[in-house]
Chains A and B, each alone.
Chain A
Amino acid sequence: MGGISIVLVIIVAFLAGMEGILDEFQFHQPLVACTLIGIVTGHPTEGIILGGSLQMIALGWANVGAAVAPDAALASVASAIIMVKGLGPGTDVQTAISTSIALAVPLSVAGLFLTMLCRTIAIPMVHFMDAAAEKGNFRGVELWQILAICLQGVRIAIPAAMLCMVPADAVTSMLQAMPEWLAGGMAVGGGMVAAVGYAMVINMMATAEVWPFFVLGFVLACIGDLTLIALGAIGVSLALIYVGLKEVAKQGGGSGGGSGDPLGDILNDY
């Protein structure tokens, strides 16, 4: 990796770190972060493929309630850097991708610790804001807000810079020295890990009422001709039909002495 590439990687890492907390532009999502790192290091296609693979795993990662998900920002940035380092002559792209994902997931656990650290450091920062507010000092409040955001960027930028310093030879030789059962096993594990993210989504939304829609989605997805857009269209239609019918049923139950026949009720009103 050249000097300019390293600087650009660190900038991308900084953006990803900021977004890891802001959650607005989505620079921390694997699809975006891995692609950007791939582009600035001259491996765009591999970066995009890695981003897509990791995105599939990270789809349901969101911190809601007690469940704390792995840190998507650090996982994306770390896996992309490891993959780029590992892409040497004689390394299979698919192996580099699956092993870098497997290596990045434990790293993203370390990312959680850094997140907690930043959120604690932010406490004195808002106290400085209080002091600025006391004096009616707009600049002071703004300054501390911007510094707090930068702190979150640095949270990912520093680990990224450290990973960039690891010599590429070391990564390549490590990947090549890996026995087949380890590299293959990590790929097998990567195929299963997506289930965890999906389970997090299910736990958030599942009620007895919506489980049948899960089954429908699962069974219809067996039809290979249906693209995701087609499946999305079916899902939206089902949801609208269901909610619409439920509305009608409720109105029918409420008026006309609960005859359960909305059409009959309308006719009776005439």
Chain B
Amino acid sequence: MAEVKLTQKDRMAVCWRHQFLQGSWNYERMQNGGWCYAMIPAIKKLYSSKEEQSAALKRHLEFYNTHPYVSAPIIGVTLALEEERANGAPVEDTAIQGVKVGMMGPLAGVGDPVFWFTVRPILGALGASMAMGGNIIGPILFFVLWNVIRMAFLWYTQEFGYNVGSEIAKDLSGGLLGKVTEIASILGMFIIGSLVQRWVSISFTPVVSTVTQAEGAYIDWANLPAGAEGIKSALEQYSALGPTGLNVEKVTTLQGNLDQLIPGFVAVLLTLLCCRLLKKNVSPIVIILCLFAVGIIGRFFNFM
């Protein structure tokens, strides 16, 4: 009997379909339908009799759930195992299911922090900061970069899984995955720190003090030279005195005082409060609604 082999075209078909893994996500067996859907091109190629095809379909409708991207190396390994089996190697059903279950847990633990909590926040923040100025490059950059990274990852890790086969379990236990997760969480925390500083905005409006400044500490608007000469003189004084030079009275707000400690100080406190509340199992949705309420109350009583 001639050996059946999965060609690159077959593997690409599987890779394409694998993108729809979560489509039939259900509370019973989670991603099983999408997994089976992705395996169909390979099953068609490897098995010719109706009984074998039916058995293979049923085998791949078992419970499955992991992160949708790191699932790619798992499906690669499974392709290799199915290929061996179709060529007569004694690969049991339980071995295939065992590889799937054994890999999905640890890999999901890498996929979530790397993709959802590091790469997406970084690319999203990059695109969003451009988009907030109305720049179309922002959304395009996010969309293109994300999909290039994602597709490259899906294809190359699937190929890696297919080539390494069941040996992959050894590679996984090596330190590489741990290292990737560690780098991702360091980078993620660093970027989240800067995002909190830049994009969580709280500003308190109460005025702490109003001081009438000494002569010379403000621009004497009434006695400026006429015409362009006056503008020049005002600008010169402004650059020497800073923003407090614009008015006779120097107004200090609560926010100004807080910003002197470090800009964004209250934003960090708010973020840490949210962390605590989330840890106490308060739903993020409840916190979000409360923050809107606080904002409205704050504006109504004029302290925010």
Contacts and interface: CB of A to CB of B under 8 A. Distances in A.
A56 B195 CA distance: 9
Interface in B10-67: 19-29, 32-34, 36-37, 40, 43-44, 50-51, 53-54, 57-58, 61
Contact of B24 (A56, A145, A201): A145
Contacts of B152: none
Contacts of B294: 189, 192
A265 B46 CA distance: 55
A77 to B, nearest CB: 15
B134 A49 contact: yes
Contacts of B165: none
B127 A125 contact: no
B282 to A, nearest CB: 10
Given A145-B37, A221-B198, 18 more contacts: A24-B19, A48-B135, A48-B138, A52-B132, A55-B127, A56-B129, A59-B128, A60-B192, A66-B281, A122-B33, A130-B58, A141-B40, A144-B24, A198-B271, A215-B193, A217-B195, A221-B196, A228-B125
Interface string B123-148: 01111111111111011001100110
Contact of B40 (A105, A135, A142, A194): A142
Interface stretch (B179-187, B222-230, B237-245, B249-257): B179-187
B197 interface: yes
A53 to B, nearest CB: 6
A76 to B, nearest CB: 11
Nearest to B175: A247
Nearest to A29: B124
A218 B299 contact: no
Contacts of B116: 62, 64
B188 A201 contact: yes
Interface string A34-67: 0100000000110011011101101110101011
Interface of B: 19-29, 32-34, 36-37, 40, 43-44, 50-51, 53-54, 57-58, 61, 68, 112-113, 116-117, 120-122, 124-136, 138-139, 142-143, 146-147, 150, 179, 182-203, 262-264, 267-268, 270-272, 274-275, 277-279, 281, 283-285, 287-289, 291-300, 304
A193 B44 CA distance: 50
| B interface: dominant SS | helix
Contacts of A52: 127-133, 138
Interface stretch (A2-10, A165-173, A231-239, A254-262): A231-239
- The CB with the most chain B CB atoms within 10 A, among A201, A203, A236, is that of A201
A51 B304 CA distance: 25
B113 A235 contact: no
A146 to B, nearest CB: 8
Given A31-B138, A149-B20, A205 B124 contact: no
A236 B26 CA distance: 37
Given A185-B297, A216-B193, A193 B291 contact: yes
Contacts of A125: 24, 26, 33
B142 A105 contact: no
Contacts of A267: none
8 contacts: A64-B112, A138-B44, A191-B202, A193-B288, A199-B272, A201-B188, A204-B112, A215-B193
A213 B193 contact: yes
Interface string A174-199: 00000011101111111111111111
